[in-house]
Structure 1
Amino acid sequence: MSSKRNSSSAGKKNGASSAGAAASAVPAVQITPDLVKRTTGEYDLEMVQWLDLSNRGIRKIECLSNCISMIDLCLSGNRIRHVEGLEALICLQRLDLSSNKISRIGKCKKFWMLRIVCCANAGLETLQALQHLDLRGNQITNVDDVRSLSQLSNLKHFYLKDYSGDNANPACNHPAYHIVVTKCLKHLEILDGESLNLRQCMADVILDRVQADPEAAKPLPHQRWCAAADWALPSVEATVDDALQDSIGGLQEALKSCAEASREADRLLRQMGDPAGEGPMNG
């Protein structure tokens, strides 16, 4: 099974890469009413709804003004450099201009009924009904050219490269390519084969998985560092009373000591002045 898939993908790549070579190898063909009739089998050009002129070496889009009922136009793999001559295709729903030589998304007239467009590098900014635009395999170098398509409110599908990255325009290498395109084309659903809704869902899932714990993100409760300290001042009256009591107690002790000293002094004086004390000395 894997070998079959590899061979199949290789065949697709080889087919896409050989489209430009095939276009250059084919002699240049000019679009004429007769060519359109022979290709579609329709006699009346107004009845033509599908036209495939891929890989014909066509250099210019012309002679399609009478194909007012055309729904699907394929001009891929040619040598077209400019998008023009499509003003009358008011019912056009699909336009394939992939693998051409278009280098800028230039100006063109309005396609009021255009719904689906596949082109490689074209001026399509006035196609108000455009729903599908494929610009793979061309030479668009400036990603800002996509801004000219910002008014296409019906544009749903847009391609500048394959989903695998092959057949990419040089503009796809710009680091902001995806951001610029999705910002300019706000109603886009598919970009380069990738569903934008699915891409956003995957991004949301990834963000949900890496989202921080909301509890951990909460700030810590506010608390003063000295909230537990006792800031109550002692009573002033109690402090004075204690001081007085201490002073009185000290004074009483001092008076007591003084009284004892006075009594001792009196005793010593009496002993010194007692004549009885001298009697034994005289006898």
Structure 2
Amino acid sequence: MSVMTHLSAYSSLSKLNLDYNCFSEIGGLLHCASLTHLSLAHNKISCISGLDKLPIKDLCLRGNQIEKIENVETLRTLQVLDLSLNRITSLSGLQNLHLLGSINLESNLISEIKEATHIHDLCLLRELNLQRNPVQEQLDYRLAVIFLLQHLTGLDQEKVTVEEKA
């Protein structure tokens, strides 16, 4: 499928998996007032849009062509976000998603440790995955990220130790 059909007739829909299609944009979800889990992995999406004020808790946009985290500030219930295998260079856009507990940004283009400051105030954030990003090549990368994000319990799919936080 390459075009998302209008799903307003499915207002009770809570989970939707549209992985491995050819969607280039997100649409037709406006009236899905019960949608809590959405997966659009491995499509051709380049821009996050069409999700305004949906009650999504778990959003997977893995393996798309997204370069910028945008238009997610109205997803106030978002807890799990998977943006791995995209082309993202900045964590800007996540700063107001205060219920986020897990962010997967594996295999993106994040190159600066200072990008972690965008998510510094997300107190419920416990898991962050930045594996296979250029930022990992920086000196003391792991300790610097843990210092900036003291509440993390897992970084790059490894537990954060008490010693690392000290």
Q: SS state of the match for residue 73, structure 1?
A: strand
Shift of 1:184: 0.2
* Residue from 59, 72, 75 that aligns with 2:61: 75
Aligned to 1:97: 83
| 2:48/2:72 contact within 8 Å kept | yes
Q: Does 1:173 align with 2:159?
A: no
- Cross-structure match for 1:31: 26
For residue 130 of structure 1, report the CA deviation from its aligned partner: 2.1
| 3-state SS, counterpart of residue 163 of structure 2 | helix
> Residue 200 in 1 paired to residue 163 in 2?
yes
Which residue, 146, 153, 158 being the options, matches 2:128? 158
State the match for 2:149 in structure 1. Answer: 185
Question: 2:163 corresponds to which letter in structure 1?
Answer: Q
Bigger relative contact order, structure 1 or 2 (CA pairs below 8 A, ≥6 apart): 2
Asked whether the equivalents of residues 75 and 97 of structure 2 are also in contact (C-alpha less than 8 Å), the reply is no
How far has the Cα of 1:46 moved from its partner? 0.7
- Secondary structure, aligned partner of 2:33: helix
CA distance in 2, matches of 1:188, 1:127: 16
Decide whether the 8 Å contact of 2:76 with 2:97 is kept in 1: no
Q: Which has the higher strand share?
A: 2
Question: How far did residue 155 of structure 1 move?
Answer: 1.3
Post-superposition shift, 1:138?
Answer: 0.2
Alignment check: 8 A CA contact 1:45 1:66 kept:
no
Aligned-CA RMSD value: 2.1
- Is the 8 Å Cα contact of residues 144 and 180 (structure 1) preserved in structure 2? no
Report Cα offsets for 1:175-230 as digits up to 9, x if no partner.
11011101000111111111113x739xxxxxxxxxxxxxxxxxxxxxxxxxxxxx
Shift of 1:66: 4.3
**Deviating 4+ runs (over 4 angstroms):** none
- Taking structure 1 as the reference length, the TM-score comes to 0.48
Aligned: 1:61 with 2:48: yes
Alignment of 1:3-18 (within 5 A): none
Distance 1:157 1:66 in 2: 24
Q: What SS does the aligned partner of 1:95 have?
A: strand
Amino acid at match of 1:85: N
The number of residues matched between the two structures is: 145
Q: Distance in 2 between matches of 1:72 and 1:187?
A: 20
CA deviation string 1:9-54 (max 9, x = no partner): xxxxxxxxxxxxxx9xx75611111xx49xxxxxx41111111111
Counterpart in the other structure of 1:147: 117
What are the ranges of 5 or more consecutive residues in structure 2 without an aligned counterpart? Answer: 1-19
Aligned residue number for residue 84 of structure 1: 70
Secondary structure (helix, strand or coil) at the match of 1:45 reads: coil
1:224-252: CA deviations, max 9, x gaps? xxxxxxxxxxxxxxxxxxxxxxxxxxxxx
The aligned counterpart of 1:45 is 32
Residue type of the alignment partner of 1:200: E
Deviating more after overlay: 144-153 vs 173-182: 144-153
Identity %: 30
Of Structure 1 and Structure 2, the greater helix share is in: 1
TM-score (norm: length of structure 2): 0.79
Q: Map of 1:227-266 to 2, 5 A cutoff?
A: none
